[in-house]
Structure 1
Amino acid sequence: MASPSPKRLPMARVSVGSNGRQIQLLTNHFRVHVGKKGCCFFQYSVALFYEDGRPVETKGIGRRVIDKVYETYATELQNKNFAYDGEKCLFTLSSLLRNKFEFTVVLDDISSNKVVRGGGPDSPDGSDKKRMRRPSHTKTFKVEISYANKIPMQAIVDALYGQESEKFPEAIRVLDIILRHRAAKQGYLLVRQSFFNVNSRRNYGDLDLGGGVRGCRGFHSSFRATQGGLTLNIDVSTTPILEPGSVVEFLLKNQNVRHASKIDWTKAKRMLKNLRIKANNIEYKITGLSDKPCKDQTFPLRQGRDANGEVQSIEVTVREYFERHKKIPLRDSIYLPCINVGKPKRPSYFPMELCTLVSLQRYTKALTDLQRAALVEKSRQKPQQHKKALADVCCEFKNNYGNEPMLCSSGITVDPLFTRVEGRVLQAPRLSFGNGENFLPRNGRWNFNNRKLAIPVEIKDWAVVNFSAGDKVHSLVRSLMECARMKGVTMDDPTGVFEEEKSMRCKPAPIRVEKMYEIVKQNLSGRPQLLLCILPQRKNSHIYGPWKKRNLVDEGVVTQCVALPKMNNQYLTNVLLKINAKLGGMNSFLAIEKSPSNIPLVSRVPTLILGMDVSHGSPGRDVPSIAAVVSSRYWPLISQYRASVRSQSPKVELIANLFKPGSNGEDDGIFRELLEDFIATSGSRPEHIIIFRDGVSESQFNQVLNIELDQIIQACKHYKDNWNPKFTLIIAQKNHHTKFFHARAAKTGENVPPGTVIDNGICHPKNNDFYMCAHTGRIGTSRPTHYHVLCNEIGFSTDGLQELVHCLSYVYQRSTTAVSVVAPICYAHLAAAQVAQFIKFDESSESSSSHGGHTSAGAPHVPPELPRLHKSVANSMFFC
């Protein structure tokens, strides 16, 4: 889709807000002083080739090669300090003597010829003779370094004064690369803009995540342009890494088995592939496992040449080679597969007991629910702890980077003190419950004790299905019905409680679901209003996906999944809130929603609110991404929503099907579906459309403005000529590293209060953005949401827009607290994640093949279409 012309750009800030009481805060942005404004960075392109001219595509070897170049050719390069990004760019502070250099260097290879090989230099057929001319423990590289660009530091100064500067992002990138280059030289693990080192003083405490995975603490750093000047944003960070040590011990922990005989070697092969091990004090990358155990796996061992010059060899086992020729006795690993560190046609084997995983290897597989929960739990820090950890980071940063040659030479210095900013605390909106009761939340929280739901539903025809072996089902039903009565919900006795047959509990999840539905249909005369599903376990139940798909797609039945819990009133209330919202009721409103004048530019003009998000598959899985858009209903209300969900190409963040004209001329896009629902429930077309978009980085803002927004505009024009509604487009970011702390010493142990908004000091020097902590931080340190207003055709004032955002954090129907990001985005995230379960747990061979992302050569990747929701539930808040 071509971007419209002229190209839209993010809007500039018009003013800062004034509503709310003032509060003094500290933030983890540290002032950066740019001393030498006239200096420039010189960028050089780096190209690496093997001796035969093939380009080097292996990641991670670039830094070793460039270090060798500077070690060997320091005079030609004038002994200049440099920063290298590890791939194709190198930076210096003054130009080199020539615009192009060509060097040749020889590196010690990470592999060794002292390996049991099947093929290659030690093979009996004498293959690969060219490699035999040089010992295999060295490798030759050709390096081309050529001038590419000149980046003035003045670009940073210009941007700080709000002037357009094309070189500004490049200049900031150079400063970040300088820090990354220094960290790499010191042996840190680099993960984007975060650095990790197991010897760091911050790695205290037990961060065992289970399964052979540990949490490693490090720090994030990034230079940011703000209203107060250039800052360095520093934050503590945690990433999962592999436990270094014995490969066998790792596999035992990873698969939660006690003996190597119980290891699933198919899973082990997938887990170990591409991990780095050390054997004979040399590092290797694992390429696979042998087909046979060590005692049976053979290879041709070269014995020399005969009188005719032919290579002579004998077949020996790996065990025999190491015990007889290397004098290394082997124990249990003789019954285990060997580690292969060679190539498919030239395998190189090591017995598993001789191999150890090297330290600081990032764990890139998908974490289990329990591991993810452990990572979150163990990396949490209260504000006072977090601030102390940041002080430690700053001390380490000063020691490691304070004398960094390129920073010093460019006049860059960093203030070690937290930046002081002024925030404002907005008053919470008043909520409306049943029986006309209004309530002002305190500290971002409320409850339903002795309160009725605002619009309770009547649940006449419902049933229970039990996949659990627990015996507390009837007790759960009685308690839920009593809780419903107290909250004003009419809930009759269930028409049936259906137990799963014991013989089915070991069957695949889809078969269990089908069998259960047979029982349901045999015992119920029609479609029930609700099915309460009791899952066999709370975390990662394989029943969940197939059960949701069967109900929402095939049967059109609203379903609520629970696990047999400790049945307290809070848990039951939370379940009831979800059920009531799914069945069309409302738990609470903003008191101002039904007033025609209290929500500026929303209450008086038909206004549609959209929340948009994209869910991606787990790392390493090439499954379609899921785009979800939720829209408000029954204007002038802003508390009730429905969703439209579609699949798209894997790992694609931009939403592709907002406008989708078909061959018959009809628009089958997401927006048209939501627009028709708004018109049906509200009685008119929206003249104002407010869009909240989640999950995009700053580099994608222009694409959202000029591709996604343009799709919606096209859909509007396709629906009716000359219809030009006004738009406000806001990006919400949670994936950032800005934190806020009380400036008053007496408050250092507390999080900032809910409703805190910051739009000065550390926000963008030109663009319209602000930070908001709408929620109360009960656990850990609150992370504010960073809102970027890209477009405001509707004309909200700064205070008006911030108040709207704040109010939309209080309309999340499944919670009794204000949420950290506006409810429409929360709903979009829930809808995408729930429908993604349809793919995650689809075990049919047809789906498995189509989800793999494989197409014929040259054919474009076409993601499989998601099944559309049944018309009986499509308009519901099924995602609650």
Structure 2
Amino acid sequence: MPPRGAPGRGRGAPVSFMPRGGAAARGGGPPSLVGRGNGAGASPGLPARDSHITTVGVRRSAFGTAGRVIDITTNHFLVKIPDAIIHHYDVVIRPDEKTLPARLNMEIIDRLQKVIAPQVFTPRAVYDGRKNLFAARELPFGETRSQEFDVMLEDPATSTSARGPKVYKVKLTHVAEINPEVLARFLKGQQSHDNTVLTAITALNVVIRMEPSLKYPFNVRSFFTNRETKDIGGGIVLWRGYFQSVRPAIGKMLINVDISTGTMYKEGPLFNLCLEFFGTRDPSFLTPRRLTERERLRLQRFISGVRVTTVTPGQPPSNRSPRVLRKLSAQGASSLSFTNREGKAVTVAQYFRQTYNFQLKYPDVVCAEVGNGALIPLEMLHVPPGQIMKKPVPPEKTKDVLEFATKKPQDRLQSIANGLGVLQYGQSEYVRQFGLDVDPNAKPMRLQARVLNPPTLKYGPGSKQPTIVPRDGAWNMVERKFWQPCTITQWILVVFERRNRFDENIVQDVARNFVAACKNVGITIQNEQPIYEWANPQSSVHAQLARIGGLCGAKYKTMPNLVVCVLPEGATDVYTAIKHFGDIQTGCATQCLKADKCKRAKEQYFANVCLKVNVKLGGINTIPEPRSVAALTDPHNPTIVMGADVIHPAPGAEGRPSFTALVANVDSDTAKYVADCRVQTSRQELIEDLGPMSQRMLWSYMDYRKNKEGKANPAPTRIIFYRDGVSEGQFKHVLEQELPLIKKACANLNIKPKITMIVVGKRHHVRFFPQGQGGDRSGNCPAGTVVDREVTHPLELDWYLQSHAGLLGTSRPAHYSVLHDENNFTPDSLQALSFALCHVYARSTRSVSIPAPVYYADIVCSRAKNHYNPEESMHLEESSGLQQDKATAIANLSKFKSNFKPLHSTIAKTMYFS
């Protein structure tokens, strides 16, 4: 049976191989331009093709062959799988009134094996921290194959609690025997990816993670050491870590090893941590007089859940287990009172003076409430080391995290190779006892990749060279005009920066540079002298924009169709208000510029701004040359390409909704896109409104082709649907629930296009490193590097494509998995069209890491906050840091749904999201 309590899903969920036992494998059709071939033997190296083998996604029947071959290294190591039976046990730990942290569960099972019943657990079993325990031999539990143990983490003789140490009841029940032979058969293509295979892979992952999980701080698949750290301020310290995952591949089992980054709470006095969070050393900042309610809740969200120990000056160190911090009091210790055991009201400060003869140094500072309800002054609490911060990194710290996490390819590869010495598979008693074998001198795998040819891109009339072939994933627009330039009828320039920092001369320079850039790319500006004014970012943004727009209307008898705004650094709230004004309220295109960038900007800066402005006003920047992307631009097979994504609220943000987005092209050249965005149930991965969203996209496509392009056959015959943001465990659900919604939308419009559904994965740890001189200037593999052998799925059609040129650090390829294909595309066709779609991203003159419609869907989701009026105080990222009851969470979610405003009808037909 499958492992219990398997890891989470959705955005941010780890990539894992989950059940794949649904759809029967489909045979190939007759060879054709896009046909996939006719089954076994289509390419050397494919697993044997057995008719009884089932898959969720499309069965691989061939490999790609296009492109030039290069030699690369990948961060995978060969592992020999065991041949002995593995015994699977279900774990129940009580008291179970709440889910215990994985760290605590690991401590309980470790103590059970080493102290409470070592004779039972010889050799020791491995545990995943939740519901699954695996043993290399059957545990001696008798006929029932089940046993319950009492586990105490403290010895009764040394316990400081009046009630004695807490007792955890651990019940283990035998649920299955795992024969690793099923894995060997699966790798050879002789076994479906069913629950037995899933459980076997899970068991091997638990085996390799057991040792480091007991030694180091860990999350699901990574553990972190303090060998390499960086204090980035704000109470956060970064630790270098290692990711490891056992993964099946064609004919072999591999361990994927990578470096990772952990954000940790800074160890030391909690008092200091709180001051660092606010970037101050002034203790009075933590008193109710200085600490506003909003700031207190912000700090509470940051530190809630952290484990703390009590330190009383003059008292011996407590050996009690750390307690979890729940919330902060609104009052200081000298004002906060409670009733003591004698029934008298005393303040917290009085209690510690009377009980411990300890005078608080900062009696006016707020207190912390810990798990048992006790109120303790901040100055008496200590934060133990190695605590992972499971909260979003503050935006101002993102740059520091990226700098720490970024390593050049060869440096990263060396760190990964060194990781085997840290992981020490050969020295782990768990790895040895289960019969896993990783050569201690193993080298990262070497394999062959292919580099695809980029598509040819077309620019508009008046260009010195109308076509260009990207080189190294980039191209420039020098002396080129947009394929379809827009017209700016009237525009206004609104400056939200202080006048003494952004004076009239600078404003006029910005206006001149913007006009010149527009002319260079073919954009028509009917009035080169905009109305410009300075605005107050503290006042109503909506009112000010409406007033200045009204001045334009009064002077020129026409309202502006573009509002250009100059913003100071960090003006996120102003940006959101501007986008709401344009996208939701008025339907007027808006373009924001950063003050520091545009006042000293070079020509290239305004050229990049024009890339965005043109598509926002209905233009098209460039299109792929039809002959170079035949699969996308076949006139006999009109093709609509869709990109879909879901984004979930931050951890701990209860009662906040998830947002969904669907983006699709409306033109025949797959360059002009429209979008739809909806709000749905919190943390729900599947898109509940995909039916009406798809119907709107299809209608828009047919309307544009008929009325704008004058096509006689406006309906699409093919849909290529790229789905972002789902883990492999969700593939079957996407097929069973989302695919029918797309088909229903087609039926409602009386069209019957053939559908190809592809999942694009970004959240994985597979990396590729060029050998010799095969890399680009950044040391990464060249743009267009594709790998569909050696490290891919044993049965199903998938590949890795690194479609972008490297800039900083090590590039991450996108992982493509084909779930459904009625169009019978060849692997070469699918890889080529996916690569081509990475070149039509309107914001840049570089190929991007994922197909443009998927990238756009991701942006549309992240802009969902713009659909709320910022003046109505809908705080999407904020919550108190406390668990909400179900009724409150539902009520909050309902409020977010009812206040979500649709796009303005004018803006909905444009690429407003660029």
Q: TM-score band (shorter)?
A: 0.7 to 0.9
In structure 2, what residue type is equivalent to 1:878?
Answer: Y
1:387-445 per-residue CA deviation (whole Å, 9 max, x = no partner) reads 111122122112xx213233223321124211111001112222212336111221111
Structure 1 position 658 matched with structure 2 position 690:
yes
1:330-382 per-residue CA deviation (whole Å, 9 max, x = no partner) reads 42x22212333253xxx423332222222122222222322122211221011
1:273-352 counterparts in 2 under 5 A?
273-280=304-311, 281=317, 282=320, 283-300=322-339, 312=342, 316-323=346-353, 325-331=355-361, 333-343=362-372, 347-352=373-378
CA distance in 2, matches of 1:755, 1:69: 52
1:438 match = 467
Match of 2:638 among 606, 609, 633: 606
Change in Cα spacing, 1:275 to 1:853, as seen in structure 2 (3 Å) is: closer
Give the match's secondary structure for 2:78.
strand
Give the match's secondary structure for 1:754.
coil
CA distance in 2, matches of 1:850, 1:295: 28
Change in Cα spacing, 1:70 to 1:393, as seen in structure 2 (3 Å) is: same
1:185-584 counterparts in 2 under 5 A?
185-186=214-215, 188-198=216-226, 200=227, 203=228, 207-263=230-286, 264=291, 265-280=296-311, 281=317, 282=320, 283-300=322-339, 312=342, 316-323=346-353, 325-331=355-361, 333-343=362-372, 347-398=373-424, 401-415=425-439, 416-434=442-460, 435=462, 437-469=466-498, 470-471=502-503, 472-493=506-527, 496-501=530-535, 504-507=536-539, 511-524=540-553, 525-537=557-569, 539=570, 541-564=572-595, 565=597, 566-584=600-618
Q: Which piece of structure 1 moves more, 539-548 or 690-699?
A: 539-548
2:79 match = 32
TM value normalised by structure 2 = 0.84
Give the Å deviation of 1:872: 1.1
In structure 2, what residue type is equivalent to 1:388?
Answer: Q
Q: Is the 8 A contact 1:176 1:222 kept in 2?
A: yes
Match of 1:640 among 672, 677, 681: 672
Match of 1:811 among 840, 853, 865: 840
Give the Å deviation of 1:55: 7.2
CA distance in 1, matches of 2:897, 2:885: 12
1:629-668 per-residue CA deviation (whole Å, 9 max, x = no partner) reads 1111122x11111111111111112111122xxxxxxxxx
Structure 1 position 16 matched with structure 2 position 47:
no
Give the match's secondary structure for 1:90.
strand
CA distance in 2, matches of 1:559, 1:234: 44
Match of 2:108 among 38, 47, 65: 65
Give the Å deviation of 1:842: 5.9
Change in Cα spacing, 1:319 to 1:842, as seen in structure 2 (3 Å) is: same
CA distance in 1, matches of 2:452, 2:650: 38
2:732 match = 702
2:130 match = 87
Structure 1 position 105 matched with structure 2 position 155:
no
Match of 1:673 among 696, 699, 703: 696
CA distance in 1, matches of 2:543, 2:207: 58
Change in Cα spacing, 1:531 to 1:75, as seen in structure 2 (3 Å) is: closer
Change in Cα spacing, 1:427 to 1:741, as seen in structure 2 (3 Å) is: same
1:760-801 per-residue CA deviation (whole Å, 9 max, x = no partner) reads 111111110111111100211111111111122112112111
Give the Å deviation of 1:314: 5.4
Give the Å deviation of 1:274: 2.0
Structure 2 unaligned residues grouped into runs of 5+: 1-20, 25-54, 312-316, 707-713
In structure 2, what residue type is equivalent to 1:211?
Answer: G
Q: Is the 8 A contact 1:279 1:354 kept in 2?
A: yes
Give the match's secondary structure for 1:414.
coil
Change in Cα spacing, 1:522 to 1:462, as seen in structure 2 (3 Å) is: closer
1:837 match = 866
2:650 match = 618
Give the match's secondary structure for 1:412.
coil
1:627 match = 660
2:181 match = 154
Structure 1 position 737 matched with structure 2 position 771:
no
What is the aligned residue count? 813
The percentage of counterpart residues that share the same residue type is 29
Give the Å deviation of 1:478: 0.9
2:806 match = 777
Change in Cα spacing, 1:24 to 1:603, as seen in structure 2 (3 Å) is: farther
1:124 match = none
Structure 1 unaligned residues grouped into runs of 5+: 115-133, 303-311, 660-668
CA distance in 1, matches of 2:22, 2:179: 31
CA distance in 1, matches of 2:869, 2:649: 8
Change in Cα spacing, 1:193 to 1:576, as seen in structure 2 (3 Å) is: same
Change in Cα spacing, 1:445 to 1:520, as seen in structure 2 (3 Å) is: same
Give the match's secondary structure for 2:218.
strand
RMSD of aligned Cα (Å): 3.0
CA distance in 2, matches of 1:528, 1:770: 47
Give the match's secondary structure for 2:79.
strand
Give the Å deviation of 1:328: 4.2
CA distance in 1, matches of 2:115, 2:279: 49
Q: Is the 8 A contact 1:299 1:315 kept in 2?
A: yes
Give the match's secondary structure for 1:363.
coil
1:647-702 per-residue CA deviation (whole Å, 9 max, x = no partner) reads 1111112111122xxxxxxxxx1011111111111232111111111111111111
CA distance in 2, matches of 1:619, 1:656: 22
CA distance in 2, matches of 1:208, 1:641: 43
Give the Å deviation of 1:54: 5.9
1:509-545 per-residue CA deviation (whole Å, 9 max, x = no partner) reads xx332333234225424432111122232x4510122
In structure 1, what residue type is equivalent to 2:267?
Answer: P
Q: Which piece of structure 1 moves more, 404-413 or 64-73?
A: 64-73
Give the Å deviation of 1:607: 1.1
Q: Which piece of structure 1 moves more, 263-272 or 462-471?
A: 263-272
In structure 2, what residue type is equivalent to 1:685?
Answer: A
In structure 2, what residue type is equivalent to 1:289?
Answer: L
1:423-470 per-residue CA deviation (whole Å, 9 max, x = no partner) reads 011122222123361112211111122322222222121111222222
Q: Is the 8 A contact 1:369 1:540 kept in 2?
A: no
In structure 2, what residue type is equivalent to 1:678?
Answer: Y
Q: Is the 8 A contact 1:104 1:141 kept in 2?
A: yes
In structure 2, what residue type is equivalent to 1:440?
Answer: V
In structure 1, what residue type is equivalent to 2:113?
Answer: Y
Give the Å deviation of 1:145: 1.5
In structure 2, what residue type is equivalent to 1:421?
Answer: L
Change in Cα spacing, 1:801 to 1:402, as seen in structure 2 (3 Å) is: same
Give the match's secondary structure for 1:236.
strand
Give the Å deviation of 1:588: 1.6
In structure 2, what residue type is equivalent to 1:623?
Answer: R
In structure 1, what residue type is equivalent to 2:88?
Answer: Q
2:206 match = 177
